[in-house]
Amino acid sequence: MGTDIYGFIEMRHPHADEDWYEGDAWSVSLPLYPLYGVNDYASLGCLFGIRNRLDWAPVAAGRGLPADVSGPVRTHYENCARLDAAIHGSTWVSWAELRDLDMTVRPAARGVLDVHSEGGYSITRYRIDDRWPDEVVERYGMPPLGTSPVGAPAGRWEISGQTLEYGPVTRLDVLGPGTGWEHVFAVMRALAQRFGPEGVRLVVWFD
């Protein structure tokens, strides 16, 4: 079964630390969807350690709900968990952390090989380490990049109407423009101008 991500962007009231302030410290800004609705496992692994098939060092895995999570987010999470036993992996990450990410970081995997079906309607992704997967070689032949991925350049080629594309992968590839995360980051960046980089966070969980 697939894994879906759920979550909310929260912001911290600028006067939450003042003695006179009596409201909740954190409040909901907006839900993660429809800002992000792609569910690309490479990005979920990179950020949260979920479906981490490429062995990223996750940015914010398994932190649980923040102790001071806003009431509406806690209620939504508890309702989800009550209705779906598969809910797991709750965690959070601040805009300060996301803002300062080194986008050149790579996972432990040497690279990825994407097989685009004829017409581009689907993509099958393979993790690549020190040898080409037997399934790939049997189905498509030895890649023209060389008999081993070790030292092989990035490349793209076609076989029987299907397009194969190999290359290393970085955080920028899975979190940058075109991934859907740029919209989430843009909203968090804008909110941080008012609430500060530590005063904006993304709270998520998975099923």
* DSSP string for 29-89: EEESTTT-----HHHHHHHH-TT-TT----SS-S--S-TT--HHHHHHHHHHHHH-TT-EE
Q: How many Cβ atoms are within 10 Å of 202's Cβ, its own excluded?
A: 25
Domain ranges within the chain, ordered by starting residue: 5-103+172-206, 111-167
pLDDT in tens, 25-84: 999 999 999 999 888 999 999 999 999 999 999 999 999 999 999 999 999 999 999 999
Residue 11 has pLDDT above 80, yes or no: yes
Note the pLDDT of residue 160. Answer: 86
In which residue are the tokens 């429809």 written? 34
pLDDT confidence bin for 122, thresholds 50/70/90? confident
Query: Kindly report the CA angle at 4 between 156 and 27, in degrees rounded to 5?
Result: 120
Residue 1 has pLDDT above 80, yes or no: no
Note the pLDDT of residue 163. Answer: 96
- Element (H or E) spanning 138, and its range? helix 134-140
If phi > 0 it is left, if psi is from -120 to 50 it is alpha, else beta; for residue 71 that is: alpha
Residue 120 has pLDDT above 80, yes or no: no
pLDDT in tens, 159-190: 988 999 999 999 999 999 999 999 999 999 99
Note the pLDDT of residue 23. Answer: 84
In this structure, which long-range contacts are made by residues 70-78, counting pairs with CB atoms below 8 Å and at least 24 apart in sequence? 70/8, 70/10, 70/24, 70/26, 70/27, 70/28, 71/24, 72/8, 72/28, 73/8, 73/10, 73/28, 73/203, 76/8, 77/205
Higher pLDDT, 23 or 150: 150
If phi > 0 it is left, if psi is from -120 to 50 it is alpha, else beta; for residue 33 that is: beta
Residue 149 has pLDDT above 90, yes or no: yes
Percent of all residues in the chain with a pLDDT value above 90, rounded to a whole number: 89
For all residues of the chain together, what is the average pLDDT?
A: 95
Higher pLDDT, 198 or 118: 198
Measured CA to CA, the distance from residue 130 to residue 143 in angstroms comes to 14
**In this structure, are residues 59 and 97 in contact, taking their beta carbons and an 8 Å threshold?**
yes
Measured CA to CA, the distance from residue 115 to residue 119 in angstroms comes to 12
Note the pLDDT of residue 52. Answer: 98
Note the pLDDT of residue 168. Answer: 96
Question: What pTM does this model have?
Answer: 0.92
Residue 152 has pLDDT above 80, yes or no: yes
